[in-house]
């Protein structure tokens, strides 16, 4: 199970920070991703960040990325893709 911290992307639209539509910063075990949308189906909590000024949403689970819609989907269990029969 992974730990996620989610923040609003205050620097969106700037170089290297996604488009104006990339409003979410999602950190998976410390690695940052930028997304346009979120779909979270696990319990969440709020916390202050390390500098004590900004706030995060934090949760535990597994992330699937929908690249077509730029959405982070955080769920309780890993959903395996259907297996093809040969």
pLDDT score recorded for residue 79: 67
CA distance 9 to 11: 5
The whole-number pLDDT of residue 85 equals: 39
Of all helices (H) and strands (E), which one includes residue 62?
strand 55-66
21, part of any domain: yes
Tokens 């979120």 map to which residue? 38
Beta carbons within 10 angstroms of residue 1's beta carbon: 10
Q: Judge whether 30 lies within some domain.
A: yes
Give Dmax (Cα) for the chain: 55
Question: Does 61 reside within a domain?
Answer: yes
The first and second tokens of residue 9, run together, are 């992307």
Question: pLDDT by residue for the chain (86 residues), tens digit each?
Answer: 999 999 999 999 999 999 999 999 999 988 999 999 999 999 999 998 777 888 899 999 999 999 999 999 999 987 666 544 33
Kindly state whether residue 81 falls inside one of the protein's structural domains. no
Structural domains in the chain (count): 1
Structural domain containing residue 22: 2-75
In a domain, 25, yes or no: yes
Residue 54 falls within a domain, yes or no?
Answer: yes
pLDDT of residue 81: 60
Q: What is the pLDDT of residue 17?
A: 96
Element spanning 26, H or E:
strand 24-28
């Amino acid at each position: 199970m992974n730990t996620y911290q989610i923040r609003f992307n205050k620097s969106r639209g700037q170089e290297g920070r996604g488009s104006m539509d990339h409003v979410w910063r999602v950190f998976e075990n410390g690695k940052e991703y930028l997304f346009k949308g979120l779909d979270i189906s696990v319990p969440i909590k709020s916390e202050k960040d390390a500098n004590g000024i900004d706030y995060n949403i934090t949760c535990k689970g597994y992330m699937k990325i929908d690249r077509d819609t730029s959405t982070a989907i955080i769920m309780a269990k890993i959903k395996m893709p259907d297996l093809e029969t040969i």
